[in-house]
Amino acid sequence: MPVKYLLYCNINLKNHITIHYDIKKELKIKSQDSIARFLKKTIEANYFKIKNVDLKFDIPALKRDMESRTNTILAKTFKK
């Protein structure tokens, strides 16, 4: 799933520290690829220290994009 649908990522460590990464704000500065690489590198590097990872998705935007793509495909398939 593309990173553009994420609002933020909270990485909770075992020593009760939470790392909050605001992806919506970072998308204005960085590309999706660089954000995805950073998240992957951070999670892999600190795998044993992480208690859990919370991801908050932008559900309305995801739903809107999926509906528009579905409508486009259906319009191409069943056009008269």
Q: pLDDT tens digit string along 24-80? A: 999 999 999 999 999 999 999 989 999 999 999 999 999 999 999 999 898 888 876
Tokens representing 3 are 């990173």
Quote the CA–CA distance of 62 and 52 in Å, as a whole number.
24
Question: 59 — alpha (psi -120 to 50), left (phi > 0) or beta?
Answer: alpha
| Alpha helices in 1-80, H assignment, sequence order | 23-26, 32-45, 59-77
Residue 36 is predicted with a pLDDT of 92
pTM > 0.75:
no
pLDDT mean over 8-19: 93
Residue 63 is predicted with a pLDDT of 92
The domain limits of the chain are 3-77
Residue 51 is predicted with a pLDDT of 94
Residue 80 is predicted with a pLDDT of 60
C-alpha Rg value of the chain to the nearest Å: 17
CA dihedral 31, 32, 35, 40 (to 10 degrees): -150
